Amino acid sequence: MSSIAAVVFDLDDTLYAERDYAYSGFAAVAEAFADRLGDPRDAAARMRRLFDSEHRPRVFNALLTELGLIEEFKLVTAMIEVYQAHRPTIRLYDDAEELLKKLRPEYRLGLLTDGRSSKQGLKIVALGLRDRFDAILITTELGPGFAKPSLRPFEFISTCLQVVGSRSVYVADNPAKDFVAPNALGWMTVQIRRADGVYSDQKPVPGGEPYQVIETLDHLLDLLSKLRPR
């Protein structure tokens, strides 16, 4: 039996592909605004292409520009609302699905994610995750100012799981923000570096280097059995 007792996961790009969420949202926006944007399949395809370009941070503005609808920029707020409120069509990565089944009997499982509560909640429902974790925390539910790298959400979920930090692991994808706090609290940290990850090329910030890097969650169970508190 490993001395690790709790495994806490990030959500986006760790358990499912964030790109799939974006694409799902673009389809919803294209349908909702078809009267302005034209054929929904064409509009959604344009947004997917813009997402994979330097326009990713402002896909809707870039789309309206591309379609010659600059005078419609006031639509962007409504487009964002539809995007964030849509019921996403997303699924767990195959390795995540398998891993969660295998971990469940042996470890306390947590989910700790940043992001707007309603938006993350819709993802959690779509992925069927409510009953698969012992504790789920969306950091905005603690109030403003507690997003990663705040220590507070990690301390909070430790309390919920009733496992000390030194016997906990955080598994996440983004070294620019995910590992600073759990490292500081003495957790083990594991980066899952996926080829299709939106943040897979981010550089670690000081103190944010993961303890281990893996390319697939298939290796995590084996790794957990070898980890010892630092």
Binding footprint of Mg ion on the chain (CB under 5 A): 10, 12-13, 173
- Name the residue with the smallest CB distance to Mg ion: 12
Task: Fill in the amino acid letter for 144.
Answer: P
Of the two residues 30 and 136, which places its CB atom closer to Mg ion in the complex? 136
User: How far from 29 is each of 36, 42, 50, 84, 197, CA to CA, in Å?
Assistant: 11, 12, 14, 10, 23
- Nearest Cα neighbor of 170 from 150, 192, 152, 197 is 192
Collect contacts of 72-79 with beta carbons under 8 A, ≥24 apart. 72/36, 75/33, 75/36, 78/33, 79/29, 79/32, 79/33
Residue matched to tokens 């292409």? 49
Question: Smallest gap, in angstroms, from Cβ of residue 35 to Mg ion?
Answer: 35
Question: Smallest gap, in angstroms, from Cβ of residue 173 to Mg ion?
Answer: 4
Of the two residues 17 and 63, which places its CB atom closer to Mg ion in the complex? 17
In the 8-state DSSP scheme, what is residue 203?
P
Of the two residues 33 and 187, which places its CB atom closer to Mg ion in the complex? 187
Count CB atoms within 10 A of the CB of residue 108. 22
Question: Smallest gap, in angstroms, from Cβ of residue 90 to Mg ion?
Answer: 13
Of the two residues 37 and 190, which places its CB atom closer to Mg ion in the complex? 190
Q: Which of helix, strand or coil describes residue 180? A: helix
Of the two residues 10 and 95, which places its CB atom closer to Mg ion in the complex? 10
Question: Smallest gap, in angstroms, from Cβ of residue 197 to Mg ion?
Answer: 8
Of the two residues 165 and 197, which places its CB atom closer to Mg ion in the complex? 197
What is the Cα–Cα distance from 97 to 157, expressed in whole angstroms? 22
Cβ distance 184 to 150 under 8 Å?
A: no
Cβ distance 59 to 47 under 8 Å?
A: yes
Question: Smallest gap, in angstroms, from Cβ of residue 71 to Mg ion?
Answer: 36
Question: Smallest gap, in angstroms, from Cβ of residue 172 to Mg ion?
Answer: 6
